[in-house]
Amino acid sequence: MKAIASLIWTRSYLQTGNYASPRDLLTDSASCDHDSSSITVDLGRPAYHVSAVVMLPPQLDGQEGLFLHHKVFLSENNHNWGEPVAYGLWPREPKEKLSTFEPKPARYVRLVAESQAWVGISELNVYATPYAIPPDPTRGIWGPTIDFPIVPVAGATEASGMIILWSSWAPDLYFSSPGGQTATSQWHPFQHTVSQRTISDTHHDMFCPGISVDGTGMLLVTGGNDAEETSLYNITTGKWVTGPKMHFRRGYQSSVTLSDGRVFTIGGSWNGGSVTPKDGEIYDPIARTWTKLPGARVDPMLTDDMEGRWRSDNHGWLFGWKNLSIFQAGPSIAMHWYYVTDGGNVTDAGPRLHDQDSMSGNAVMFDAVAGKILTFGGAPDYEMSYATNHAHIITIGDPGTIPKVEVAGQNGGGMHSARAFGTSVILPDGTVFITGGQGYSLAFNEQNTMLTPELYFPHNNTFVQLQTNNIIRVYHSWSLLLPDATVLNGGGGLCGNCSANHYDAQVFTPPYLLTSSGQLRTRPEILTISRETATIGDEIFIRTRPKIGSASLVRLGGATHTVNTDQRRVPLLLKRVTRTEYSFTIPNDSGIVTPGYWMLFVMDAEGVPSVAKVIFISARVLGDPRPTVPRKQGYFFQKPAWESWESGCLQRVLGSLRWLWSWGV
């Protein structure tokens, strides 16, 4: 990707004016809505595959005139602009601002500032690629880039449909932490806006934590840079509170919600020392206490990492299961059952066939009723290690039994690409979306990267390649399922002044939502639901439009460092009441339907999913807390983000200057 070379450009403002270097001011006094200002650049000829905009703000004292809330539009003719290719909130500092997006043919580039009286630009560069991947809606569509004021390395889906993201004590680096605070950002998908906040209330730098939604619906964030701390986030009210300190100092540990709503954590020697084994402990969300489990030993699940224990107990693949058990599927080749009663225990569950240790790989429970888990990718060592394309289906049964393990992929060949640091999401129809990663694991390095995602189909045990994207996602990237059945994929980096920082995310629209021409398919709708809070074993009635063919529950949760132990899918058995009225019974086992928030999807006969209804499911064993599901839910958008924009007021007022541009890298 290079800056467009040696051309005389024309730039046009919403208002004319002669402004002296080093700042060029855009004022909103000529704007028809008084809420935005814009600059339009004519590249001089068509057919550039424009892929990025880099803007340097004026180097002034203070923060006056900084370009913050913004949108980027492209056009081939200066008339048809369509939806933005990027939007969001840039950091509040006088550094270069970057928006990278999917390459698109354009002659005109428009940068819009929103909600500011004036902004300044010292330098603006537009970048293009020599070639753009032709769109193919049968393989999905990558939507606009969402810019954040932080490098997001962890995130979770709120009950309202909004997304909470965070980095570390600073927006763009994790090291040299003074502790006590975390930079966060919130994405409002239904408003297409981004906000920011620094959290110091909990005195917790939440970089590299364990993340779980407990049985009361609270997001539990543990350890990390402040390795003993626990923070709780209410995903219905958006408020953070301080939780109890853990017994062990942990970073890079995994945690998982159990069948009674408590949370188990183990490992995490990246921080807090690696001499003492980081055995298990358990959190009670009612008492808000941690209890040691000395019998839940970490040593059996260690990988044989060349760097030793501080790497070998990281990022466990944990699944809460029946009767308070936990199944550990990896990343070590050795699998185990963990137990939390009577001080804890661990038993052997056999090897993952002829696999290898697979650190920074993935494991997802795509069918909790059948106990089916897909594992894939990873590398024998955390860093400086070649990744694998290996994939397996693990079918677990009663706690303590040896699971069935089978190779996955056509003829057992695994994925198309070897991936470490990749991420994945279970989709409502039971397929698994896989994206990002690299063939050789090396933190903060962007070589040997995988830009073509894959989709796993359980019904025929195959991996299919999807639409290639333009933005690298490797170390510190993540993916989350959105309530409109699309995927938010973002992050990567957090290494200070380095080229691997990605202050952004993209929405991927899977093929099941698209026609062959790229139009959004007509979705089924859930018109009414008999209850928004329920208990395992309850029967729920829904009315839909039109009739539907299937339904599923997918749990809300959070993700970081390739780990999302919250996500799991429960296929539902529908009973037809009338032509468009149905009932289903929630499985009567909280080891299958873990207590917490779930997204209810319905699919038509062709597998097109609805927008979800969020419900809370309780196991009763925690005093039946039954939190309220927000009435104003943000997931009632009928179009994906890339198709739901209004053009607004983007008129061009005369006034231009000539800019001379040169090559850059």
Rg of the chain taking only CA atoms, in angstroms = 25
Contacts of 502 (CB under 8 A, 6+ apart): 151, 471, 472, 473, 477, 490, 491, 492, 493
The tokens describing 339, both together, are 């137990």
Backbone angles phi, psi at 643, to 5 degrees: -120, 5
Contacts of 65 (CB under 8 A, 6+ apart): 23, 25, 57, 58, 118, 119, 120
Q: Which residue has the tokens 């079918």?
A: 395
Q: Which residue from 607, 609, 604, 601 is spatially nearest to 584, judged by alpha carbons? A: 601
Q: Report d(CA 454, CA 452) in Å as an integer.
A: 7
One DSSP character per residue, 407-466 reads: E-SGGG---SS--BS-EEEE-TTS-EEEE--BSEE-TT--SSB--S-EEEETTTTEEEE-
Cis peptide before 627 (omega within 30 of 0): no
597 strand-pairing partners: 616
Which amino acid, one-letter code, is at 421? F
Q: Which residues of 531-565 are buried (b: 16+ CB within 10 A; e: fewer)?
A: ebbbbbebebebebeeebebbbbbbbbbbbbbbbb
Q: Which residue has the tokens 């701390």?
A: 229
The tokens describing 85, both together, are 């290719």
Q: What count of Cα atoms within 13 Å lies in the side-chain half-sphere of residue 203? A: 6
The tokens describing 199, both together, are 């959290």
The tokens describing 223, both together, are 């350890």
- The residues carrying an active-site annotation are 475
Q: Report d(CA 474, CA 466) in Å as an integer.
A: 18
Q: Report d(CA 661, CA 22) in Å as an integer.
A: 16
Contacts of 127 (CB under 8 A, 6+ apart): 1, 2, 3, 4, 50, 51, 52, 53, 54, 664
